[in-house]
Chain A
Amino acid sequence: MAEDLNVRIRHQVLDVDLTLPLDACAPITGVFGPSGAGKTTLLRCIAGLAHPGAGSRVALGGEVWQGERRAVPVRRRGIGYLFQDHALFPHLSVAANVAYGIPKMPRSLREERVRTALQNARAGHLLDRDTTSLSGGEAQRVALARALASAPKLLLLDEPFSALDAPTRDQLRGELREILLATGTPALLVTHDRSEAWALADRVLSLADGGVQQIGSVEEVFNRPSTTSAARAVGVENIIRGEITRRSGENIEVRAGELVLVTRNPEGLEVGQSAAVCVRAENISLTAEAPASAKAPNRFTAQVAEIRERGSLHQIRLQTDPVITAYALGSGSRSAMRPGARVSVEVPIEHCHTIRTVHTERVDRLER
């Protein structure tokens, strides 16, 4: 079953036109973006829990869920929805919760289906438990079993792991992928966690400012954003805007403020054009020692402006123009990385992704 999901949404906070292939072999589409980007709204509009606005359209294959004139009621759409906080019915047992969506099935068949769904969600042992006694992870497993029991055509997952502790989250993530592959259920997974998208998604849709920025493979969307907005949507820390000053062979030189960065040029950009160089903070390496050859490309020294502790990683802002953000391991770099210290910076050429931009004052101010 390789149907397309067609979505046109004209919601107050979301303006979207997209077609997603729903493939049973590559079932998971990640919906990624910062909070407030409209991720949950997108899911709710597809489910029919929110009205997608006048002139909107939602269709799965040939089945039109939301058309010009009429809309298929939520209960007839045959979708599964996993909420952030499981939303199990507290007054019903685990078994009754899972059976809730299949009341018309003959009893023996229903019991069998409940057992299978729970086993698929690795929650077979919870069958006789009271719903209120479940832990967060267990509850989310039961909620997944409940969603899968009615064999949905499409599963919508709204940050299903965000309320769980890290070990449980990692375990459930791995299992979710197996379960969806095994049952062949296509799914839309809303997340703002990059590692979750990497671990689960077959393709990613990046959302920001109420619009789709990019759709592609995980690698493409995260490492090769197509526009600066797409880069911001996936949280690229360094988006350095400048002008191309030189072209030498395969590479180009981008000058931005006092920085000169050498990058590859797959798009064939020309001297004089505006460009933005996107570099993830984790790809910039900082060392305390002075560089051996200061003249090597993309190597320079800079002063540490600010350090923000983030667990084992420290986020370090350098006093360059424009400001560069990098990460350093907290334990090893404690002595060397102090505000005011001079460090040697290397921006590896293979991690620089260059985007052509239209350079105007207005855009610049808007994006700041």
Chain B
Amino acid sequence: MDWAAVELSIRLATLTTLILLVLAVPLAAWLAYSRQRWTAVIEAVVALPLVLPPTVLGFYVLVALGNRSPIGRWWVELTGSPLAFSFNGLLIASVIYSLPFAVQPMVAAFVGVDRRLLEASTVLGRSWSSTILRVVLPLSRTGITTAAVLTFAHTIGEFGVVLMVGGNIPGETRTIAISIYDSVQAFDYDTAATTSLWLLLFSVVVLGLTYGLNSRGRTIWPRI
């Protein structure tokens, strides 16, 4: 069992989830509550990771973060170390890769908030951001939990993007999924089986807990 990979995956998933929760709220609110020419375009861009193969996404991120790109050079100047094949690069890739999993449940939840409540808040003198914070977020708890869990689980399970952007550096970019792949390549089926089982159980428990908590207050089909 590759505990370093487990630790790395959990660290990556936690940070990705935290960053995405902060980024996705204003983005989802904008998508849910404005009707401009740009809305559809941004919505499509956000959904891209759902349709693109991870390798394609990973390739573009790698090019964008590489030492020849302005972003890559700027980062090297700032920190002295390259972005590609590093944990930070991996984090950026994960954030982009999981964006739709954070944004879409939030948009769905925000759209479901009674429009009249938003109007009431505005009439009572509250700004856009204050209304999002005081009315929309508390009433969208289910959607936000779903967004957080999906993001976390999706990051734990990502493989293609990590391989493209992160490579396979133990303790730096070797996540659980990569570790399992390595074990299989090395015909170490025992380790692969243990790690896989661990990942499977972890996923079932986390998802089960979330859906259990979220099912409160749900409408139940009337029974005879």
Instruction: List the B residue with the shortest CB-CB distance to A77.
Output: B123
Residues of B whose CB lies within 8 Å of any CB of A are 114, 116-117, 119-127, 134-135, 138-139
Residues of the B chain whose Cβ atoms lie less than 8 Å from the Cβ of A65: none
A85 contacts B122, CB within 8 Å? Answer: no
Instruction: List the B residue with the shortest CB-CB distance to A44.
Output: B119
| 9 CB < 8 A contacts A-B | A75-B126, A76-B125, A81-B119, A87-B114, A87-B117, A87-B119, A87-B120, A147-B124, A150-B125
Given A81-B119, A83-B120, A89–B135 Cβ distance below 8 Å? yes
Instruction: List the A residue with the shortest CB-CB distance to B137.
Output: A91
Q: Is A146 an interface residue (CB 8 A)?
A: yes
Q: Is A101 an interface residue (CB 8 A)?
A: yes
A75 contacts B116, CB within 8 Å? Answer: no
Residues of the B chain whose Cβ atoms lie less than 8 Å from the Cβ of A83: 116, 119-120
The prevalent SS among residues of B at the interface is helix
As a 0/1 sequence over residues 68 to 98 of chain A, the CB contacts with chain B under 8 angstroms (1 = contact) are: 0000001111111101010101110000000
A89 contacts B123, CB within 8 Å? Answer: no
Q: Measured between C-beta atoms, what is the minimum distance from A208 to chain B in Å? A: 26
Q: Is A18 an interface residue (CB 8 A)?
A: no
Choice from A85, A91, A146 contacting B124 with Cβ under 8 Å: A146
Count A-B contacts at CB 8 Å: 49
Instruction: List the B residue with the shortest CB-CB distance to A104.
Output: B125
A75 contacts B139, CB within 8 Å? Answer: no
Which residues of A from 138 to 174 have beta carbons under 8 Å from B?
Answer: 146-147, 150
Q: Measured between C-beta atoms, what is the minimum distance from A12 to chain B in Å? A: 16
The list of the 9 closest CB pairs from A to B, nearest first, reads: A101-B124, A87-B120, A87-B116, A81-B123, A91-B138, A74-B122, A75-B125, A75-B122, A101-B125
Residues of the B chain whose Cβ atoms lie less than 8 Å from the Cβ of A47: 123
Interface size class of A (residues with CB under 8 A): 20 to 34
Q: Measured between C-beta atoms, what is the minimum distance from B223 to chain A in Å? A: 24
Q: Is A49 an interface residue (CB 8 A)?
A: yes
Q: Is A100 an interface residue (CB 8 A)?
A: yes
Most chain B CB neighbours (cut-off 10 Å) among A47, A81, A85, A150: A81
Q: Measured between C-beta atoms, what is the minimum distance from A351 to chain B in Å? A: 42
Residues of A whose CB lies within 8 Å of any CB of B are 47, 49, 74-81, 83, 85, 87, 89-91, 100-101, 103, 146-147, 150
Residues of the A chain whose Cβ atoms lie less than 8 Å from the Cβ of B135: 89, 91
A75 contacts B127, CB within 8 Å? Answer: yes
B123 contacts A100, CB within 8 Å? Answer: no
Choice from A75, A90, A91, A103 contacting B123 with Cβ under 8 Å: A75
Q: Measured between C-beta atoms, what is the minimum distance from B28 to chain A in Å? A: 19
Instruction: List the B residue with the shortest CB-CB distance to A78.
Output: B125
Residues of the B chain whose Cβ atoms lie less than 8 Å from the Cβ of A147: 124
Q: Measured between C-beta atoms, what is the minimum distance from B6 to chain A in Å? A: 37
B119 contacts A90, CB within 8 Å? Answer: no
Q: Measured between C-beta atoms, what is the minimum distance from A65 to chain B in Å? A: 13
A85 contacts B116, CB within 8 Å? Answer: yes
Cα–Cα, bound, A81→B122 (Å):
10
Given A87-B114, A91-B139, A81–B120 Cβ distance below 8 Å? yes
Cα–Cα, bound, A253→B135 (Å):
64
Instruction: List the B residue with the shortest CB-CB distance to A156.
Output: B123
Most chain A CB neighbours (cut-off 10 Å) among B114, B124, B135: B124
B126 contacts A89, CB within 8 Å? Answer: no
B114 contacts A100, CB within 8 Å? Answer: no
A100 contacts B139, CB within 8 Å? Answer: no
Residues of the A chain whose Cβ atoms lie less than 8 Å from the Cβ of B134: 100
Residues of the B chain whose Cβ atoms lie less than 8 Å from the Cβ of A75: 122-127
Cα–Cα, bound, A150→B139 (Å):
24
Residues of the B chain whose Cβ atoms lie less than 8 Å from the Cβ of A89: 117, 120-121, 135
